[in-house]
Amino acid sequence: MGPLSRRRRSALGVVLAALVACALWAGARAAEWRADVSLAALSAPAPATVAAFRDSGTDVELLAFFDERDPIWARLEPWLAALAGQRVRVSRVTPGREPALEREHEVVGAGVLVVATRGASERVVVGTRPAVARRSFARLDGEVVAALGRALAPPRLALFVAGHGEREPQARLRALLAGAGLEVRSWDLARAIPAAERPLVVWLDPAGPGRETESRALSRFMREGGRLLAVFERAPDAPLLTSLGVRAQPGLLRGPEGDERLRAQASGAHPLTAELPAPLTVDGARGFARLGEARAVAPLWIPRAYPDADGDGARGVGEPLREQAVMTTRAFVPRAGLEREGRAVVLGDADLLGDEGLRRPGEAALARRILEWLVEDDEARRPVAPLPPPAEIDLLGPEHRSRTFAFLFGLPAALILIGGAQRIRSRR
């Protein structure tokens, strides 16, 4: 590489000086920008949060354990004021001044928000340090709605069937279940399902079918008002599906070009899929066909796909392209003396409930609606807390600070050194 001309060296020097100046100025202002934007988002609670408190059907008290001069409280106060109403009262408690309240609600120190009803109370830790409070503000709507749900009723059970090589529920599905007031437990179908506790039974993609006695037990559970969420992608349980009015296709679905990643169509007339915020994508899904005049409904389907029965990735003579359902629902009319109808949702794609799937808005909204429909009953409709947004990256935090400053200052400095060395070389 030859020496740079004087004009090019001058231009390079001006560009490097501008880069250094911009880096210094941006580094000095980055923390202020990030804090202002993050905290400004707390100006008002989400409409779903307001509706959850308005429709709770009971008196609710929000107790904020903050010092009056705490800047976090200054940001939190208008957000809480927007929730206040005829049956929602907001109060600030100075930490250390009300020991009886602190003991009653098990609060230690400042930075805690308590959601209290007449029967119970739940805590939401907000924090008093700006870095902690910013992260709390980002997920405050979901945590407060979840706390309200827990305070309104004791946790119900989500019994995950075990013993057939089932998938483990991942973190985001567990968070949705907790937001619906459900406590996750493993369950062996050889044991009787505790119907009196109104559990939600989840069968998450078993590697092999269940025994006939287990299928009969689940069928009886639903006909007696039970709720079931079943995911059958690898090994459908034929007797159970027959009792639900559907049968599984013999292979995973593929599109006209042989691809397994397909766009699913949602029914705008079904309450579980109406007005979803984004299209849904399935990958390696199993299709279901309705049996005769069964009352099973298909709110999610693939317009044109074929079941790859032989698994060769190519469409054969006996594998026609047609509309394929990848989700079915079934409601059972309550028998005499029963309080509620039994309900079941069957999905043909386990990825819809995995962490990657639930990061997408359409899949997350569908999962919330499924849980709301399955846990809904005549006593109380528990709101399901939305999933928190993806964790924000603090470029000035300790884990990223060295990389940030290396980029802001190290790169311009290296360019300056290279330019200087080139200049000295040209003079020689």
φ/ψ of 246, rounded to 5, equals -135, 165
Residue 359 covered by a domain: yes
Output the domain CATH number for residue 367.
3.40.50.880
Residue 405 has pLDDT above 70, yes or no: no
271 and 201 belong to one structural domain: yes
Q: Is 157 exposed, middle or buried (0-12, 13-18, 19+ CB in 10 A)?
A: middle
**How many angstroms separate the CA atoms of 66 and 112, rounded?**
7
Tens digit of each residue's pLDDT (9 = 90 or more) over 137-180: 988 998 999 888 878 876 789 999 999 999 999 999 999 998 88
Residue 168 covered by a domain: yes
**At what angle are helices 140-152 and 47-54 packed, to 10 degrees?**
20
Choose the final residue of a domain: 132, 151, 170.
151
93 and 12 belong to one structural domain: no
141 and 232 belong to one structural domain: no
- Residue range 382-387: mean pLDDT, rounded: 55
- Return the higher-pLDDT residue of 17 and 68: 68
Q: The whole model's pTM is what? A: 0.63
Pick the range with the lowest mean pLDDT from 167-171, 294-298, 352-356, 377-381. Answer: 377-381
Output the domain CATH number for residue 137.
3.40.30.10
Number of domains in the chain: 3
188 and 63 belong to one structural domain: no
Pick the range with the lowest mean pLDDT from 8-12, 86-90, 239-243. Answer: 8-12
359 and 230 belong to one structural domain: yes
- Return the higher-pLDDT residue of 111 and 422: 111
What's the pLDDT score for residue 56? 84
- Using alpha carbons, select from 303, 299, 302, 266 the residue that is nearest to residue 283: 302
- pLDDT above 90 as % of the chain: 51
- How many C-beta neighbours within 10 Å does residue 413 have? 14
283 and 362 belong to one structural domain: yes
Choose the final residue of a domain: 123, 151, 179.
151
Residue 385 covered by a domain: no
64 and 12 belong to one structural domain: no
137 and 164 belong to one structural domain: no
* 376 — pLDDT class (breaks 50, 70, 90): confident
Residue 100 covered by a domain: yes
- Residue range 194-198: mean pLDDT, rounded: 85
291 and 217 belong to one structural domain: yes
* 322 — pLDDT class (breaks 50, 70, 90): very high
Residue 230 has pLDDT above 80, yes or no: yes
349 and 238 belong to one structural domain: yes
Residues spanned by the domain of 136: 47-151
Choose the final residue of a domain: 83, 117, 151.
151
71 and 109 belong to one structural domain: yes
Cross-strand bridge partners of residue 201: 159, 228
Q: Which amino acid is at 209?
A: P
218 and 114 belong to one structural domain: no
Residue 93 covered by a domain: yes
Residue 381 covered by a domain: no
